Amino acid sequence: MDYVTLGRSGLKVSRISLGAMNFGHSAYIATCDEQHARQIIDRFLDTGHNVIDTADVYSDGESEQIVGRALRGRRDQVVLATKAFAPQGESPNARGLSRAHLIPALEASLGRLDTDYVDIYYCHQWDPGTPIEETMATLDGFVRSGKVRYLGCSNFTAAQIVESQWAAERIGGTPFTVLQAQYSMVARTIEAEVLPACRRHGLGVTAWSPLGGGVLAGRYRDANPAPESRWGKIRDAGPAMVQRLVTDTLSDRNLRIADEVGRIATELGTTSVAVALAWIAGRSDITSSLIGPRTIEQLEENLVEIELPAELTERLDALSAPTNGPVNGLFSSAA
């Protein structure tokens, strides 16, 4: 197993991380029940991979509960990550990155995960309503208490990363070690400013949605997904904002990139999934790719490792080069 160091730390993580967002039940579609989630977790850990990522908002806490039960007796084998920001009640203080919210949010997550610490605690998104010094001081307290070992941020801009690291330095606190950000061949906008900020300030990077919402896996051949497909169900059940998300994800540009990924997969005798994940694995700024399988078959497909020849990487680089506008519309503020 190929382990790498996470950012400016001594923590060793696998190049593939298991995302638990699909464990439990979604507001729009059924995802992965506990029995199948346990199979996925068991197989993932058996292959030597060691990072499992969840959040308090996933399936209203059910994801954390499933993960916690699955890790009983082997907690020390896992780099366990969770996140906070999303509303956890009706109170105006039951959300965001304030001290008032983060302290009970962490305690609740620890309870659902059935553990006394998490390895990585993420701020799920930026909170414009809370001074960053308050957030970083609260997080530093978690580290000093032993309840959190490393700190991370998710979906922060370059400026927000810099502000956070400066704030940690000003208060003599713990800085962020890792950023979780959307990144794939159809979503490369972080290359312009965010990745340079991570290099400068010592953050590793975990890429979420490395398959572009399934587009790069070759599951969608046109911009009108079948009603029984994942994006078809989301499109038909979701509000107008979610329907626009489907349209942006299945744009003509993204489908062209997916077609090229499929052609290269055929040339190499492998799958589109393997090609898409190998492309990310070859990016020097990316520490780990966050996969989110809903079935054991999808997990096995995600774990196939290949090495892309330089000339094929160059073909994909050229076709997927970022444009002046947004690369796609998956999620701009939360994952």
140 Cα distance to chain centroid: 23
Whether residue 259 lies inside any domain: the answer is yes
The whole-angstrom separation of Cα 255 and Cα 249 is: 9
CATH of the domain at 298: 3.20.20.100
197 lies in some domain:
yes
pLDDT the model gives residue 245: 54
Q: Is residue 119 part of a domain?
A: yes
* Average pLDDT estimate for 238-265: 78
- Work out the pLDDT band at 229, boundaries 50, 70, 90: low
CA distances from 144 to 37, 140, 284 (A): 33, 6, 31
Tokens of 228: 């029984």
User: What pLDDT digit, counting tens, does each position of 78-109 carry?
Assistant: 999 999 999 999 999 999 999 999 999 999 99
233 pLDDT more than 80: no
**245 falls within a domain:** yes
The pLDDT, as a whole number, for residue 29 is 54
Does any domain span residue 76? yes
- pLDDT for 249: 79
Query: Average pLDDT of 148-167?
Result: 98
* CB half-sphere exposure, 265, CA atoms < 13 A: 22
For residue 124, give its domain range.
3-319
Q: Answer whether residue 278 shows pLDDT above 50.
A: yes
In a domain, 331, yes or no: no
pLDDT at 225 (0 to 100): 57
pLDDT in tens, 1-24: 889 999 999 999 999 999 999 999
Convert 203-216 into a string of H (helix), E (strand) and C (coil).
CEEEEECCCHHHHH
Above 70 in pLDDT, residue 199? yes
| Cβ-based neighbours of 203, under 8 Å, separated by 6 or more | 7, 8, 161, 176, 177, 178, 179, 197
| Residue 333 belongs to a domain | no
DSSP for residue 190? G
Question: How far is it, in rounded angstroms, from Cα 32 to Cα 269?
Answer: 30
Question: Can you give the pLDDT at residue 331?
Answer: 40
Residues 323 and 296: their CA atoms lie apart, in Å, by 36
Residue 332 predicted with pLDDT over 50: no
Q: Output Rg (C-alpha) for the chain, integer angstroms.
A: 19
Split at pLDDT 50, 70, 90, the class of 120 is very high
Question: Treating both helix axes as pointing N-terminal to C-terminal, what angle do 34-46 and 62-70 enclose, rounded to 10 degrees?
Answer: 50
Q: Is 58 one of the annotated active-site residues of the chain?
A: yes
Say if residues 193 and 158 touch (Cβ distance below 8 Å).
yes
CA–CA gap between residue 237 and residue 302 (Å, rounded): 28
Residue 73 confidence (pLDDT): 96
Average pLDDT for residues 178-183, to the nearest whole number?
98
Q: Where are the beta strands (DSSP E) in 39-129?
A: 51-53, 79-84, 118-123
Catalytic residue (choose from 3, 28, 58, 117): 58
Of residues 112 and 251, more confidence is placed in 112
Is 59 inside a domain boundary? yes
Closest CA to 233 of 225, 222, 221, 241: 225
The mean pLDDT of 222-229, rounded to a whole number, is: 54
Please give the tally of structural domains in the chain.
1
